[in-house]
Amino acid sequence: MRVLLFTGKGGVGKTTAAAATAVLAARRGLKTLVLSTDAAHSLGDTLAFEAGPEPTECVAGLFVQQVDAESRLTQSWGQIQGYLLSALEATGLDRLRAEELTVLPGAEEVLALLEVRDQVRSGRWDLVVVDCAPTAETLRLLALPEALDWYLSKLYPIERRVVRALRPLLGEAVGIPLPRQPVLDAAERLHESLLDVQEVLQAPTTSVRLVLTPESVVVAEARRMLTSLALYGYRVDAVIANRVFPDGSDPWLAGWVAAQREQLAEVNDSFAPLPVHRGLYRAAEPVGPSSLVGFAEAIYADTDPFAVPASQDLLEVERTPGGFQMSVALPLAQRQDVDLARVGDDLVLSVGGRRRVMALPSALRRCSVAGAKLEGGRLRIAFVPDRAQWPHGQGAHP
């Protein structure tokens, strides 16, 4: 069972690469599902096939699905939203404002990932290929399960206890309806599902393929994305440089070829040791299964696009003579962009404005951060046991 997610800046060829990879997989005998979490229906257009909300066979062994994010949203969030609405309205807020407040940012895409999870867990497929929405959306959505988890795990138990204790009192006194058990259950189910989504996306058999075109602006964004993906615990296993111009004698084309050559060299250096596959700029749009399979064969050449990559540890904790070292993979991160804070039992790591809250393993909770350095594409954080702050074994009571 393998999961491949295709992401990158808008318009670089994510949908084309995802569809092409899926067609190739089916040709090679893998039972494949390709689905899109993007509300735009371009996956169907690319495959020249009318995709519906349920997996439908497009060519032998290849099923296509256009996730109906809206109905998933109603399914998972509707009940909770309904409660929030009534609670907010009871406080005197008008309906429109209340509705605004209960809309989860990026929720549709996140909930589309629930469908990905269901399909992966169904055991029906050898390969699930996901055509993601453009960069910014995807990143936000990849971060959301963890952010939600953090908020819910901190707030939820407290709220639940308060609600139970106060239900008989509060309900009457303030006139604010309290959430009933089904609402609480729905919130808990959503929470658990999102954690499961995260588990699926971070599994060693799940890889992200970064699609880019060899242009400076696109490459710069892809570099930042590589860092952010590692920050969130997602493994990138290859880069696809698409729309590479073939050599030619036309002076306009020669200019582009030279500029792209420079960018491709930079891509090779930046993303090493990841393989960089190249897709030529074709004379026509690669649309339809037979055109796509040719595109995929050219991209992957003689490599195996479905092999599970050698595992890389994104997060490691090891003992050192002075305590522990925790290291987090952060390829291409710049020192000035990295920020680290300890908040209770959590470590908050920010890189270029993106944040990840990591629960510290129990051994590290009784330690302090003694320093951190970026080295070999990893952030290495030194932890020392709290006692070490007071020399001569005096402990916390000198």
Ligand X SMILES: Nc1ncnc2c1ncn2[C@@H]1O[C@H](COP(=O)(O)OP(=O)(O)OP(=O)(O)O)[C@@H](O)[C@H]1O
Strand partners, 130: 5, 35
Candidate list 119, 198, 242, 260; residue touching ligand X; CB under 6 A = 242
Candidate list 2, 3, 4, 16; residue touching ligand X; CB under 6 A = 16
The whole-angstrom separation of Cα 19 and Cα 36 is 10
Tokens coding 177: 């309806």
Residues in the site for Mg ion, rule: CB under 5 A? 14-15, 42
Q: Is the dihedral of CA 154, 160, 161, 162 positive or negative?
A: positive
CB-nearer residue toward ligand X: 2 or 209: 209
Q: CA dist 345 to 37, 149, 287, 341, 390, Å? A: 34, 15, 51, 11, 21
11 binds ligand X (CB under 6 A): yes
In the complex, minimum distance from the CB of residue 22 to ligand X, in angstroms, rounded to a whole number: 13
Q: Which residue is nearest to Mg ion (CB)?
A: 15
Complete DSSP assignment for 139-206: HHHHHHHHHHHHHHHHHHHHHHHHHHHHHHHHHHHH-PPPPPHHHHHHHHHHHHHHHHHHHHHHSTTE
Q: Are 43 and 15 in contact (CB under 8 A)?
A: yes
Choose from ligand X, Mg ion, none: what does 279 bind? Cβ within 5-8 Å by kind: ligand X
What part of residues 28-67 is at the interface with ligand X (CB under 6 A)? 38, 42
Which of helix, strand or coil describes residue 172?
Answer: helix
Candidate list 14, 117, 224, 235; residue touching ligand X; CB under 6 A = 14
CB-nearer residue toward ligand X: 16 or 227: 16
Choose from Mg ion, ligand X, none: what does 21 bind? Cβ within 5-8 Å by kind: none
Choose from ligand X, Mg ion, none: what does 285 bind? Cβ within 5-8 Å by kind: ligand X
Q: Are 101 and 84 in contact (CB under 8 A)?
A: yes
In the complex, minimum distance from the CB of residue 38 to Mg ion, in angstroms, rounded to a whole number: 5
What part of residues 268-307 is at the interface with ligand X (CB under 6 A)? 279, 281-282, 285-287
Q: For binding to ligand X (CB under 6 A), which residues are involved?
A: 10-16, 38, 42, 134, 242-243, 279, 281-282, 285-287
